[in-house]
């Protein structure tokens, strides 16, 4: 296999709060992403998904670990290297309206990354590329002179996708890009992302709490809980035979379209009782043991090692 486009090795992120407390947001997270691949990152709110994206983008400084882009470690002090990295890696954000400047026309919003990162193209080429991108995401080029408030949420997210594509990136970090949209619009945006990925051979890091959405796009899935990896597997294996109790909890919470089946499912779901513990005071041993029906003394005392099992990685004493 070729060397990965993006590699993260033993990444830990720690925040110091105003109260003086230390919040461990990520602990020993490692991943590899190949060109053209989609890696889904799932977990409940507060599990470190967005922190992982911000650390990859060098928006937060890791306490330890290394991030490599195309085999080379990222150096935040290397201005030329970071500028090239910013061109190669773009983002799509959760709230499509907040992600766009309300005082800019959508045409100028799409052109802005090009003006900053590809000024040598010239104004005429940049305007033309913005029009082409509007059409590529299913909008009309004549909409370029409108402002964000004149569009629906789904249309604003399409504009956000066009903006991310403007500098022809190799990787797009998608941070809950459809969670603020209606279900019918979610499917349209996910389908658009899938088509654009195939056409442009993009790599995607797709962050979501919704395993149903992740399933439609991802080649592999990484499951995070309180900043630790619980399981990593190809999408087919993970959805068919989840090994970690937390993965099973997330899958059990996926809603079903049929009302009768949904009632039967809810009656059977007994996994993962209780709420997510505070990351300021995480449980000892396996961080999931306070909600796990399989937990034993070893789970309370020892942190499980992330190990290879049946072609996947899982951090569970009983997997």
Q: pLDDT over 70 for what percent of the chain?
A: 94
The pLDDT value recorded for residue 271 is 47
pLDDT confidence band for 256 (50 / 70 / 90)? low
Region 236-255: mean pLDDT is: 90
List C-alpha distances in Å: 6 to 20, 34, 216: 34, 7, 22
pLDDT digits (tens, 9 = 90+) for 132-169: 999 999 999 999 999 999 999 999 999 999 999 999 99
Q: Pick the residue with more confidence: 271 or 217?
A: 217
Region 10-38: mean pLDDT is: 95
Question: What is the spatial distance between Cα 105 and Cα 109, in angstroms, rounded to a whole number?
Answer: 6
pLDDT confidence band for 257 (50 / 70 / 90)? low
pLDDT digits (tens, 9 = 90+) for 281-294: 999 999 999 999 99
Domain ranges of the chain: 6-240
Question: What is the spatial distance between Cα 236 and Cα 1, in angstroms, rounded to a whole number?
Answer: 20
- pLDDT over threshold 60, residue 237: yes
- pLDDT over threshold 80, residue 119: yes
Residues in Cβ contact with 85 at an 8 Å cutoff, skipping those fewer than 6 apart: 58, 69, 74
Task: Tell me the DSSP string of 259-300.
Answer: HHHHHHHHHH--TT-S-PPPTTSPPSSSTTGGG-TT--HHHH
Question: What is the spatial distance between Cα 22 and Cα 170, in angstroms, rounded to a whole number?
Answer: 35
Residues in Cβ contact with 240 at an 8 Å cutoff, skipping those fewer than 6 apart: none
* Contact predicate 272/245, CB 8 Å: yes
Q: pLDDT over 90 for what percent of the chain?
A: 78
The CATH classification number of 6-240 equals 3.40.50.300
- pLDDT over threshold 50, residue 105: yes
User: Buried b / exposed e across 219-249, counting CB within 10 Å, b at 16+?
Assistant: bbbbbbbbbbbbbbbebebbbeebbbbbbbb
The pLDDT value recorded for residue 5 is 97
Region 44-65: mean pLDDT is: 94
Q: pTM here?
A: 0.91
CB count within 10 Å of CB 309 equals 15
- pLDDT over threshold 60, residue 14: yes
The pLDDT value recorded for residue 40 is 97
Judged by phi (left if over 0) then psi (alpha if -120 to 50, else beta), residue 28 lies in left
């Amino acid at each position: 296999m070729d060397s990965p486009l993006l590699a993260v090795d033993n990444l830990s992120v720690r925040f110091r709060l105003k109260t003086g407390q230390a919040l461990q947001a990520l602990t020993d997270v490692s991943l590899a992403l190949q060109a053209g691949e989609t890696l889904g990152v799932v977990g409940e709110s507060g599990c470190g998904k967005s922190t992982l994206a911000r650390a990859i983008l060098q928006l937060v400084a890791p306490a330890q670990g290394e991030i490599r882009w195309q085999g080379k470690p990222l150096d935040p002090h290397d201005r030329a290297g970071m500028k090239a990295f910013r061109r190669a890696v773009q983002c799509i954000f959760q709230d499509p309206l907040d992600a766009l400047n309300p005082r800019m026309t959508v045409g100028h919003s799409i052109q802005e990354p090009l003006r900053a990162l590809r000024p040598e193209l010239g104004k005429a080429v940049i305007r033309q590329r913005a029009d082409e991108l509007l059409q590529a995401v299913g909008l009309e080029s004549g909409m370029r002179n409108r402002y964000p408030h004149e569009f629906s949420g789904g249309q604003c997210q399409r504009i956000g996708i066009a903006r991310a594509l403007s500098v022809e990136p190799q990787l797009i970090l998608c941070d809950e890009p459809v969670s603020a949209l209606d279900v019918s619009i979610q499917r349209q945006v996910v389908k658009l992302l899938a088509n654009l990925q195939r056409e442009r051979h993009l790599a995607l890091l797709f962050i979501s709490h919704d395993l149903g959405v992740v399933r439609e796009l991802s080649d592999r899935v990484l499951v995070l809980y309180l900043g630790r990896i619980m399981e990593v597997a190809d999408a087919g294996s993970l959805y068919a035979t989840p090994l970690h109790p937390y993965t099973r909890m997330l899958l059990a919470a996926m809603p079903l379209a049929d009302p009768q089946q949904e009632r039967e499912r809810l009656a059977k779901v007994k996994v993962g009782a209780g709420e997510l513990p505070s990351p300021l005071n995480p449980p000892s041993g396996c961080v999931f043991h306070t909600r796990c029906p399989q937990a034993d003394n070893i789970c309370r005392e020892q942190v499980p090692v992330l190990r290879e099992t049946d072609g996947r990685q899982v951090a569970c004493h009983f997997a």
